[in-house]
Amino acid sequence: MTRLSVNINKFATLRNARGGNNPDVVQAALDCERFGAQGITVHPRPDERHIRYDDVVALKDVVTTEFNIEGYPDDRYMGIIEQVRPAQATLVPDPPDVLTSNAGWDTVKNADQLSDVLGQLKEWGVRTSIFVDTDLTNIEGAAHVGTDRIELYTEPYAAGYLTDKKAAVAPYVKATQKAVELGLEINAGHDLELDNLKFLKEQLPQLDEVSIGHALICDALYLGLENAIQRYLLQLQ
């Protein structure tokens, strides 16, 4: 079964819009786990517009499933990872001011940087994942620099699913096959939702984990958080 990691950034966005501590981000993480999520994902950005540094530290002591911290590997991010030592660090290439992660790494152009960062993360005992698109050269490059996993950027799949789902998933099937050949484990994330998740899972049986935040939290507004998480888990069976 593919594991579901819930990205809780949106809980923090809602809290920050009003101030105070409602909703409580730590309690939200605990509830997600209690309702069946097999991981918690956060992406602390430099401007702390959603998850804050102190949230990450607080979550370190309470998350009992897999804790995954996404981010651009600058000194700030690496400092967080060194202190928290999450189960997984997912490296994304987006600059600090971007709204959301919207592209994968060029793992060839950035090979030296990624190799150095991955080496340090492994010294800290943290499993590594690199955010990539379906370009086979970038997947080969990810294996070359020594990552444990890749996370496939699935926005193009989500967009194409609406018109031709078989064509939309085809590059991901090829990318997954290449990753498996190279000994890489496979995550996926971005714009995955209840309508398109099951088909992706069926076409990519090797998929280890999906990270879902925005769509799941939107669904929870109508379905309730527990029901939403359970419905996402059903799509992954």
Catalytic residues, which ones? 43, 70, 190
State both tokens at 188. 């996926």
Cβ 214 vs Cβ 190: under 8 Å: no
- DSSP characters over 10-63: HHHHHHHHH-TTSS-HHHHHHHHHHTT-SEEEE---TT-SSS-HHHHHHHHTT-
| Spatial separation of the C-alpha atoms in residues 233 and 34, rounded to whole Å | 13
In three-state secondary structure terms, 69 is strand
Cβ 43 vs Cβ 86: under 8 Å: no
| Spatial separation of the C-alpha atoms in residues 174 and 226, rounded to whole Å | 34
Cβ 72 vs Cβ 91: under 8 Å: yes
Least Cα distance to 207 among 142, 151, 130, 141 occurs for: 151
Inter-helix orientation angle 225-235/194-203, to 10°: 30
The CA radius of gyration of the chain, in Å to the nearest whole number, is 17
Q: What angle do CA 77, 109, 90 make, to 5 degrees?
A: 30
